[in-house]
Amino acid sequence: MADDTEDPRDRHRSVPSSRAGRLAGFTRLAGGVAGGMLSEGARRLAAGERPRIDQLILTPGNAMRLADRLSHLRGAAMKLGQMISMDAGDFLPPELAEILARLRERADFMPPRQLDKVLSAEWGKDWRRQFRRFEPRPIAAASIGQVHRALTPDGRSLAVKVQYPGIAQSIDSDVDNVASLLKIAGLLPKELDIGPLLAAAKQQLHEEADYRREGEMMQAFAERLRDDDRFIVPELDTELNRDRVLVMSFEEGRPIETLADETQGTIDRIFTNLIELVASELFEFGLMQTDPNFANYRYRSDTEQIVLLDFGAARQIDPAIALSYRRLLMAGLAEDREQVREEAITAGFINPRAVERHPDRVDKAIDIIVTEMARQEKLDFGDRAFVPEIRDTVMPIAQDRESWHLPPAETLFVQRKVSGTALLGARLKARVDVRGIVEATFARTA
């Protein structure tokens, strides 16, 4: 891993773009993890312990190897690591969650020669003539591309997202390789059919690598939010946009996490706007940006506006899924715990087999959640006291492989946005009248 004191913009490593090069990266990762398991196993045995396989795999050393290698590979491999860190953070060992969380901010950059090769292929060898200034050092990097700032001859400031070479072509094999690693490590049981989830993950990642599509989604959000001055959506530059280069207006803003430095009233007001946006996406727009990565939001303190970025994961929401969420929330607000259980089963959140084998634990978990939902006061996202209680309640269910179950992939995409937004609220310690927002949204969309 890179030293935290180093300038992140100096992390130059060529992206492995060939199939053989990426496979070699996965092979090195598997070998490093195996070596880490052997040394950890020897240490624990010497201490008189009999460690479980998951204790040997989920070590800080192996997590460090995982984060470093996925940062290098980028693409679908890094994206899946980011998703694990956000979706399971409350249920992972703290050391592992912290290291994997670095994948949300960390990626190595393309060396200048590799960058020039990509831009020459998209814009032609004289591409620099289109700009008064093009900053060669990226201002940000993610799993699929890196972002540069540029200035046009007529003075427009642009953000230019450049896709890593070979990423789009490596998605299917990357996803399969990550799944194979998890299976080899014993973290995926044979009883769990992850085929539909892997297919959906591949589809979404292919969509995220389609910069033409992302530009269209950006314009769709701009249209829906054109009369809402709480949010800013960048303007697409249709003339410069290409298959592997996404060009938009550069929008100033601070990292959304810096909102935590504002007064409690400001935090609550701004995060209320974000919760209302999520509710509108699900129940009004029928269109949701399903990647809740904190880097996809920027904050303007002078105007109290939120800049929305990265629409690669935006997708149409099946009305049936929106309806299942509506019914589930209505049952929760009515404190009808039996109906919550039935709606959760119908929506695919709970495996009926889990209800048969662990009825008391399922009911207790539902009671904890409904009790939180039913509070008349504002929901304090910073108060996570109920999370350990839920974790302790459902852990025996999670360890019972006959109860394992995956919700429909489309539902998981929506839930990832909901859970990720709540995680941001916890980081900001926001207090929001979620019940009032949900009730107002339902009244408006009845």
Catalytic residues: 291
Other CB atoms within 10 A of residue 224 CB: 17
Per DSSP, the residues of 235-299 read: PB-TTT--SSEEEEE----EEGGGGGGS-HHHHHHHHHHHHHHHHHIIIIISEEE----GGGEEE
- Which of 72, 132, 65, 127 lies closest to 100 in space, CA to CA? 65
Measure the CA–CA gap between 73 and 300, rounded to whole angstroms. Answer: 33
Give every CB contact of residue 296 below 8 A, 6+ residues apart in sequence: 289, 308, 309, 310
3-class secondary structure, 384: coil
Measure the CA–CA gap between 348 and 338, rounded to whole angstroms. Answer: 16
Quick one: CA torsion of 88, 92, 95, 100, rounded to 10 degrees?
Answer: -30
- Which of 349, 416, 406, 18 lies closest to 199 in space, CA to CA? 406
DSSP letter at 229 equals T
Buried b (16+ CB within 10 A) or exposed e, 410-435: bbbbbbbbbbbbbbbbbebbbbbbbb
Vertex 9 angle, CA 6 and 10, to 5°: 60
Give every CB contact of residue 159 below 8 A, 6+ residues apart in sequence: 139, 147, 148, 149, 150, 234, 247, 248, 249, 250, 251
Measure the CA–CA gap between 306 and 295, rounded to whole angstroms. Answer: 12
CB of 133 closer than 8 Å to CB of 160 = no
